[in-house]
Amino acid sequence: MTVFLSGGAKNGKSTLAQQLAVKLSGEGKRYYVATMIPTDEEDYDRIRRHVADRAGLGFETVECEKNMLSCLDRADKNGTFLVDSATALLQNALFPREKNYELDLEGAKRCADELIAFLGAVKHAVVVSDYIYADAQRYDEITELYRKSLAGIDRCLAAACDTVIEVTAGNPIVYKGVLPL
């Protein structure tokens, strides 16, 4: 089963994603696919919180900043994968380190294609994304490109996944499929 989980910041997405991954895995392997490239103390604090939240849940962390299929070189595709997050994967693809963080316009398409291929290769996955594109504010051209790209990736994920859930104020709203809890 594949689950796409979206919602605003600090709405409980990560907690629900962990619960779903534990439920889907049963006694099988659990992988937390860490996608963020930390750049400041706030990022490191967030990582520490997420690690603490997963303590005792049996997740093995697999670092994967891009090229989602590469994490299968280090993990059993029959396990359950919690991918946190599509948002960070897109950032890494659009602004790659190896190109001095210069905009890579092909990055969004590669990111979407890799995520969809990954979902087709694994038994169970929960993919988390941030709902950052619905406000009415207009941003600079690069930010708008990022928001539009994430919205496109999220649409692809919603179409590909068995279950689609939005978390709002800690409450899951199921738009497609069933909440497997």
- Assign 31 to helix, strand or coil: strand
pLDDT for res 135: 84
Block residue for tokens 């941030």? 130
Q: Is the dihedral of CA 64, 33, 63, 48 positive or negative?
A: positive
| Residue 39 structure tokens | 């750049």
How far is residue 124's CA from residue 81's CA, in Å, rounded to a whole number? 6
Cis peptide before 85 (omega within 30 of 0): yes
The separation between the first and the last C-alpha atoms of the chain, rounded to the nearest angstrom, is 12
Contact 29, 76 (CB under 8 A): yes
| Residue ranges for the chain with pLDDT beneath 70 | none
Instruction: Report the pLDDT value the prediction gives residue 49, as an integer from 0 to 100.
Output: 87
pLDDT value of residue 158 = 98
**β-sheet bridge partners, residue 165:** 5, 174
pTM of the model: 0.94
> What is the pLDDT, as a whole number, of residue 30?
98
What domains lie within the chain, and their CATH numbers? 2-175 (3.40.50.300)
pLDDT at 109: 95
CA 174 distance to own-chain centroid: 17
